[in-house]
């Protein structure tokens, strides 16, 4: 049976054994209080597994295990080259279990299986392998000093890291955090979203099989207001890293201040502008990219190009091209490799997205495409990719992160106006520019308050490029060597001869 067929993945799903327990100190275990929650697939409403609902006692157990492992030095005490080999082995095991992990990702949060296989698994592998390979290539420093002194600047692991990751790219976001945290010698406690915990739970056993010592990598599924809060308030967690909403990110800073002033690094919301000038080199390619920027992963992307800024002189023509391109993005069964738009993660998120669509209609937005819930699979949660024209930037649809396939078209007349509209947001995660004018591209890129700017493309870059935001899109950076600074302390040692 071909892997490119729906029947192949349906049969594989029927035979899949799913683990739902927490992973602490090298083994799976129930939550201390015995509580669970139901993991429901958004594809068709099927019950997948009961998942451990961890709380404060579980946080304590995991932190004790992580701290003991750190103090014993059984991981941080390894030479960087030896940690690299273990992490490379970890990546190999992820690759070997790639189909299983991809299927868990699709069943759990509804993304198309083709994306899970070719985007999510591959992204996780790149993160693990690139980070592992980098760790024994990074040098500490010798300070300039007198002949009778030696000044050393070293980077040491921070200790116990709690990582809270979102539901839209569960595996990739987890690896963006845990790869540099583990590479630099820390112990890690991973808290996946309650909406998509399954790949994180599976990942834990693979880490142990790869040779990561017990206690160094733990996974605590559960809810943000229980286990997430417990980790954020824990006095023996040294660093908290987070990807998710801006509202939750703000609360985590409060918890850090109420506890031990742990370092908090966040990648939060986005409302990314995609700016198309009349002199764009290829309007057809720009339109296809604009459609993909809002339709990919059902629009459940922090860098979704949700605000499409189009120069007035080409707006009518370009909107028509985008509408045509969006017709190729249609919801279907996520287990079908031909599907490019899957299910919305759950019913509450579907209702939230539909609410923004109705609000945009009431505020004067012109619905050009989509706007309805659909049912390619019975009992699932699906929404047509949607585009609104004649949107003013002050409208809710243009200011709030929707996290769904809803595009707002906003017109502008000058470069200065485009920059002003693009920057008129509390967020600053990403932005796109389409122009054939090199000077304009540089001027606009420099003026945009965003952590990533892509010229004549959307979502450019690789593991060498830092990722993170300005303003209320967060602080710190994932990916690249810049990510390592979140997981290390800088120490100055001054020696008198």
- Between the CA atoms of 450, 325, 171 and 264, what dihedral angle is there, to the nearest 10 degrees? 20
Q: Provide CB contacts within 8 A for 145, sequence distance 6+.
A: 151, 494
The reply to whether 186 and 200 lie within a common domain is yes
Q: Is the pLDDT confidence value at 407 over 90? A: yes
Structure tokens at 145: 């000093």
Using pLDDT thresholds of 50, 70 and 90, give the confidence band for residue 25: very high
Instruction: Say which CATH number the domain at 185 has.
Output: 3.40.605.10
For 394, the domain range is 273-463
- DSSP three-state, residue 72: helix
Verdict on whether the full-model pTM lies above 0.85? yes
* pLDDT tens by residue, 409-460: 999 999 999 999 999 999 999 999 999 999 999 999 999 999 999 999 999 9
Q: Are both 255 and 279 inside the same structural domain?
A: no
Decide if 197 is inside a domain.
yes
Same domain, 182 and 291: no
pLDDT at residue 478, rounded to an integer = 98
Residues 84 and 198 occupy one common structural domain: yes
Residue 1 lies in a domain: no
What is the model's pLDDT at position 60?
Answer: 98
Active site positions, annotated:
267, 302
Q: Does the pLDDT of residue 1 top 80, yes or no?
A: no
Domain CATH number, residue 360 = 3.40.309.10
Closest of 27, 47, 50 to residue 37, by C-alpha: 50
Task: Report H helices in 155-261.
Answer: 170-183, 198-210, 229-233, 246-258
Q: How many domains does the chain have?
A: 2
For 102-130, how does the pLDDT look when each residue is reduced to its tens digit (9 = 90+)? 999 999 999 999 999 999 999 999 999 99
Mean pLDDT, residues 226-235 taken together: 98
With 80 as the cut, is the pLDDT of residue 292 above it?
yes
H-run or E-run covering 7:
helix 6-15
The rounded distance, in Å, linking the Cα atoms of 287 and 276 is 9
Q: What percent of the chain has pLDDT over 70?
A: 100
Helix, strand, or coil here: 293?
Answer: helix
- Interval 366-392: pLDDT, tens: 999 999 999 999 999 999 999 999 999
Q: In this predicted model, what pLDDT tens digit does every residue of 458-480 receive, in sequence order?
A: 999 999 999 999 999 999 999 99
pLDDT at 343 over 90: yes
Q: What pLDDT, on the 0 to 100 scale, is given for residue 17? A: 96
Structure tokens at 175: 């690896």
2 lies in some domain? no
Q: Do 139 and 260 fall into the same domain?
A: yes
- 324/180 same-domain check: no
Domain membership of residue 428 (yes or no) is yes
Judge whether 228 lies within some domain: yes
Q: Which two tokens stand for residue 308?
A: 């499409």
Nearest residue to 462 via CA among 123, 95, 177, 120? 123
- On average, the pLDDT of the chain sits at 97
Residue with tokens 């995660």: 429
Tell me what pLDDT residue 492 has: 98
The verdict on residue 186 lying in a domain is yes
262 and 390 within one domain: no
CA dihedral angle for residue 433, residue 438, residue 440, residue 444, rounded to 10 degrees: 50
Is 202 domain-assigned?
Answer: yes
Strand partners, 432: 274, 454
Could you tell me if 405 and 263 lie in one domain?
no
Co-location of 20 and 130 in the same domain: yes
Flag whether 244 is in a domain.
Answer: yes
Do 171 and 135 lie in a common domain? yes
Q: Which two tokens stand for residue 11?
A: 């049969």
SS3 448: coil
Q: Are 313 and 329 in a shared domain?
A: yes
Task: State the distance between the two ends of the chain, measured CA to CA, in whole angstroms.
Answer: 72
Nearest 5°: phi and psi at 322? -65, -40
Length of the chain (residues): 497
Q: Which of 105, 82, 83, 81 is nearest to 94 (CA)?
A: 105
**Shared-domain flag, residues 459 and 489:** no
Token code pair at residue 321: 């091209």
pLDDT higher than 90, residue 260: yes
Residue 394 confidence (pLDDT)? 96
* Tokens at 481, concatenated: 């060597």
Ordered DSSP codes for 450-494: -SEEEESSSS---TTS-B--EETTBSS-BSTGGGGGGGEEEEEEE
State the pLDDT at residue 2.
84
Q: Is residue 305 a contact partner of residue 432, using CB atoms and an 8 Å limit?
A: yes
């Amino acid at each position: 049976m071909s892997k490119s067929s729906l029947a192949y993945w349906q049969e594989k799903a029927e035979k899949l054994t799913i683990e739902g327990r927490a992973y602490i100190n090298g083994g799976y275990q129930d939550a201390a209080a015995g509580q669970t929650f139901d993991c429901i697939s958004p594809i068709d409403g099927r019950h997948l597994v009961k998942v451990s609902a961890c709380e404060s006692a579980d946080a304590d157990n995991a932190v004790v295990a992580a701290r003991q492992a750190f103090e014993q030095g059984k991981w941080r005490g390894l030479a960087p080259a030896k940690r690299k080999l273990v992490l490379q082995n970890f990546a190999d095991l992820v690759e070997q279990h790639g189909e299983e992990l991809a299927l868990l990702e699709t069943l759990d949060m509804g993304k198309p299986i083709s994306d899970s296989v070719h985007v999510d698994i591959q992204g996780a592998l790149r993160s693990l392998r690139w980070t592992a390979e980098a760790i024994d290539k990074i040098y500490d420093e010798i300070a300039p000093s007198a002949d009778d002194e030696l000044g050393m600047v070293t980077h040491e692991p921070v200790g116990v890291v709690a990582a809270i990751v979102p539901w839209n790219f569960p595996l990739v976001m987890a690896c963006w955090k845990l790869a540099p945290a583990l590479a630099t010698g820390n112990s890690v406690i991973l808290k996946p979203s309650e909406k998509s915990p399954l790949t994180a739970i599976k990942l834990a056993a693979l880490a142990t099989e790869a040779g990561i010592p017990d206690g160094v990598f733990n996974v605590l599924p559960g809810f943000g207001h229980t286990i997430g809060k417990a980790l954020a308030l824990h006095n023996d967690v040294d660093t908290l890293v987070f990807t998710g909403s801006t509202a939750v990110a703000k609360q985590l800073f409060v918890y850090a201040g109420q506890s031990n002033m742990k370092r908090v690094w966040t990648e939060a919301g986005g409302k990314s502008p995609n700016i198309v000038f009349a002199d764009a080199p290829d309007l057809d390619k720009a339109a296809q990219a604009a459609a993909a920027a809002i339709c990919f992963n059902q629009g459940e992307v922090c860098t979704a190009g949700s605000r499409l800024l189009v120069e007035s002189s080409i707006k009518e023509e370009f909107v028509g091209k985008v509408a045509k391109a969006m017709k190729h993005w249609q919801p279907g069964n996520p287990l079908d490799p031909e599907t490019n738009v899957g299910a919305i993660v759950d019913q509450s998120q579907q209702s939230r997205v539909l609410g923004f669509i109705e609000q945009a209609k009431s505020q004067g937005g012109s619905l050009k495409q989509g706007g309805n819930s659909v049912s390619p699979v019975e009992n699932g949660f699906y929404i047509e990719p949607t585009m609104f024209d004649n949107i003013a930037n002050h409208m809710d649809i243009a200011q709030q992160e929707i996290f769904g396939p809803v595009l707002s078209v906003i017109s502008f007349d000058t470069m200065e106006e485009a920059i002003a509209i693009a920057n008129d947001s509390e967020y600053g995660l990403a932005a796109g520019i389409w122009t054939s004018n090199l000077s304009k591209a540089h001027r606009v890129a420099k003026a945009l308050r965003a952590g990533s700017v892509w010229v004549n493309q959307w979502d450019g870059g690789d593991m060498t490029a830092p990722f993170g935001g300005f303003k209320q899109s967060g602080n710190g950076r994932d990916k690249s060597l810049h990510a390592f600074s979140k997981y290390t302390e800088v120490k100055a040692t001054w020696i008198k001869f």
